[in-house]
Chain A
Amino acid sequence: MKEQFLAFVRKEWFHIWRDKKTLFILFGLPVVQIIIFGFALTNEIKNARIAVVDRSRDALSQQYIQRIEASRYFDIESMLGSANEADAEFRKGKIKLVVVIPENFGSDIRHQNKTQVQVIADVSDPNTGTTLGTYIQAITADFQSDINQGQKLPYTIQPEVRMLYNPQLKGAYNFVPGVMAMVLMLICTLMTSIAIVKEKETGTMEVLLVSPLKPVLVILAKSTPYLLLSAVNIVSILLLSVFVLGLPIAGNLALLIGLSLLFTITSLSFGMLISSITASQQTAMLISLMGLFLPTLMLSGFMFPIENMPLPLKVMSNLVPAKWYFFIVKAVMIKGVGMAIIWKETLILTVMTIVFLALSIRKYNIRLANH
């Protein structure tokens, strides 16, 4: 039985190995994506283009504008004559925010101790809109204390903030584990589901199923090469994360790789499940991609905080394997913790894998029984 199994794995391996184009994509895709997304994706908002209406045009307002310009959050795109032009500019999508400095800005501060700056934010994107508003407030507060020349106030609470794990607040710390989860999940599911359905489509599946090899082994043999490919991908992703993107591996490397393989197996078995319920490659692919892409992206917690979700979706997010893997990668890779913390997540992934496998094998056995 063992020889037959190995012979079968070898056959599958040749299928994959012959198709150099696919192989190239399989290895190249995760690498390119980790690099692109590791560098490009950040949920920080900077260099936002804004416009300024300066109705005062005095020395102080000039200083204030310079202060805004100097911050990395804003690029002043244009100076508008009046706030009435704001609407037209927003509609063109050129700017995100308009700062309106009132008349007599400087003299009001000097003589009345008080003035009011108006901010008009395009909150069609509420996240950007409100965050930019917060930034303007912070810059204004700084500016204000500069005018006050740092007079020390009595009874001051001095909060001292420490940023744990990611003191430079790099986007990659959050996005790399997320993209890892997405890429592994989608590629593994897609590849296995296609590989099996393809045999069904061409009719060779029947041949395999009547061979002395048990259906379970047929299916396992089909997915083994992809497990090997994924192992290579995991290693290359980790190497890039550390040496190119500067992420730490704070915890145990062997544990990280081991659990990544577990997640790969979860995804492979999910691919098998899809293949067992579909008849054509096209359907399998559409389910794997259309059906998994956005839910994995949005429910795994790496794009959107799970605590903000409505209850039914919070519950639903528990069904997304990537959510658990995302937690594991963050915990082992960045926080540097061990099994004591992540045993629950590991257990959940294991159970999911067993369920997927059991369901797909049952499906195949039913198929055989009906023949």
Chain B
Amino acid sequence: MRSLRFLLEKEFRQIFRNPAILRMIFIMPVIQLIILPQVADYEIRNVKMDVIDHDHSMYSREMIRKITSSGCFELAGYHDSYTAALHDVEHDRTDLILEIPAGFERTLVRENEAPLFIAVNAINGMRANLGAAYLNSIIRDYNQEVRAEWIRFPRFDEQPRIEVQQRNWYNLHLNYKLFMVPGILVILLTMVGAFLAALNIVKEKEIGTIEQINVTPIRKHHFILGKLIPFWIMGLLVLSLGLLVARLIYGIVPVGNIGLIYLFAAIFLLAVLGLGLLISTISHTQQQAMLIAFFLMMIFILMGGLYTSIESMPRWAQVVTWFNPVTYFIDVVRMVVLKGSGLKDIAGHLGIIFIFAVVLNAWAVFSYRKRT
């Protein structure tokens, strides 16, 4: 145990002697946490629309006015031909083309039915789908008005209607930041922990000091603990800093018990650091360690459920996410911060992350070899 004290002393000294790293650990996450959540907004608004109006009728103009005044769509261009409008799509100057055929108004009134053409840039399928759905619903509403104008007195009973009334819980104002900030914080924390730990032991290998350590009677688990604890403390500091930013800048105050977040983070960090140290012990150069860490981080982050929902993934990919510690932490932070979930609600996740921590650290100790 005594040697652990000296290991810790040494690690802390080395960390604090390197201002570049310190800046990286503390300032970079804060800056990113301040900037990036502003970006995270999937809402369908400001969809750019080109209009080709071959009809130039009162109805067509009125419909266009309805669409542009909805707030979802903004008129990007007015064209005479579909080719010209398509050119705008190719330039990404517009997302959507609305083409009103000649005689639209006349056909609608005389033949009871008039077509309308909509073309959507569907490279981003989800956005295209929702955009088209919104446009459809605005047109439906307008259609209803037209109908009401012509059918003053309903000729038959109104048709049965089922209304859907939606109530939004936990985030009344549909504030995306409320949702993104905790998630981004988790990712930043994961990166800081994993990258630093992954680089640490392998750096001693590259410099050669590890030889000197290996020839001492130091215990393997003491050595790993000596590496783990400083980063663990720093991780918790970064978390606190992040929560402070969330509170001061975004006004996010966890609904649930903040102690739960710390409890979970404490174990989560052990898991992530264990993984980092494991990478470090199996790598020969910092370059290798970094590439492996980068590979895993990219999977952890993109498949952590922050950006895209896990339920929508194919089955095998969902199985992959079970082995992603980040998924559990993002889930827990959101549950506690936004919904006020309690210890009982997160107990399952807590158990799983505990297993991660034990397995990864045991593995790291095991694969750290004092001799070859």
Contacts and interface: CB of A to CB of B under 8 A. Distances in A.
* Chain A–chain B contact at Cβ < 8 A: yes
Interface of A: 19, 21-22, 25-26, 29, 32-33, 36-37, 39-49, 75, 86-87, 90-93, 109-110, 113-131, 133-134, 136-138, 140, 143-144, 147-148, 151, 153-171, 173-174, 182-183, 186-187, 190-191, 194-195, 198, 278-283, 285-287, 289-291, 293-295, 297-299, 303-305, 307-310, 313, 316, 327, 330-331, 334-335, 337, 341
Contacts of B109: 155
8 contacts: A115-B161, A116-B163, A162-B119, A163-B125, A166-B122, A289-B294, A308-B46, A341-B90
Nearest to B142: A157
Most chain B CB within 10 A, of A32, A45, A167, A308, is at A308
Interface in B318-338: 320, 331, 334-335, 338
Nearest to A157: B143
Nearest to B156: A151
Nearest to A29: B295
B118 A159 contact: yes
B210 to A, nearest CB: 16
Contacts of B179: 124-127
A22 B282 CA distance: 12
A368 B338 CA distance: 55
Nearest to A114: B161
Given A42-B308, A162-B118, A286-B21, A36 B317 contact: yes
B120 A44 contact: no
Given A125-B179, A308-B41, A190 B308 contact: no
A187 B343 CA distance: 41
B121 to A, nearest CB: 5
Contacts of A47: 311-312
B187 interface: yes
Interface in B136-183: 136, 139, 142-143, 146-147, 150-151, 157-172, 174-176, 178-179
Interface stretch (B127-135, B227-235, B362-370): B127-135
Nearest to A99: B164
**How large, as a class, is the contact surface on chain B?**
35 or more
Nearest to A101: B162
Contacts of B132: 161, 163
Nearest to B295: A29
Most chain A CB within 10 A, of B35, B290, B342, is at B290
A78 to B, nearest CB: 15
A126 B171 contact: yes
A279 B285 CA distance: 17
B360 interface: no
Contact of A40 (B167, B314, B340): B314
A8 B180 CA distance: 47
B235 to A, nearest CB: 14
Contacts of A160: 115-118
A162 B291 contact: no
B121 A164 contact: yes
A174 B123 contact: yes
A127 B199 contact: no
Contacts of B18: 280, 282
Given A154-B147, A155-B113, 13 more contacts: A93-B331, A109-B162, A113-B161, A120-B167, A158-B115, A164-B122, A170-B125, A173-B124, A187-B294, A194-B286, A285-B290, A290-B29, A297-B307
Given A161-B118, A285-B199, A309-B41, A136 B164 contact: yes
A309 B38 contact: yes
Most chain A CB within 10 A, of B136, B297, B307, is at B307
Given A198-B287, A335-B90, A129 B171 contact: yes
A155 B163 contact: no
B46 A140 contact: no
B211 interface: no
Contact of A115 (B45, B163, B334): B163
Contact of A158 (B43, B46, B116, B123): B116
Contact of B136 (A115, A161, A285, A297): A161
Most chain B CB within 10 A, of A127, A282, A295, is at A127
Contacts of B203: 281-282
B345 interface: yes
Interface string B50-80: 0000000000000000000000000000000
B136 A159 contact: yes
Contacts of A40: 303, 313-314, 317, 320
Contact of A156 (B143, B167, B338): B143
A133 B288 contact: no
Interface string B264-292: 00000000000000000001111110111
Contacts of B108: 155, 157
A153 B90 contact: no
Contacts of B46: 305, 307-308
A297 B285 CA distance: 27
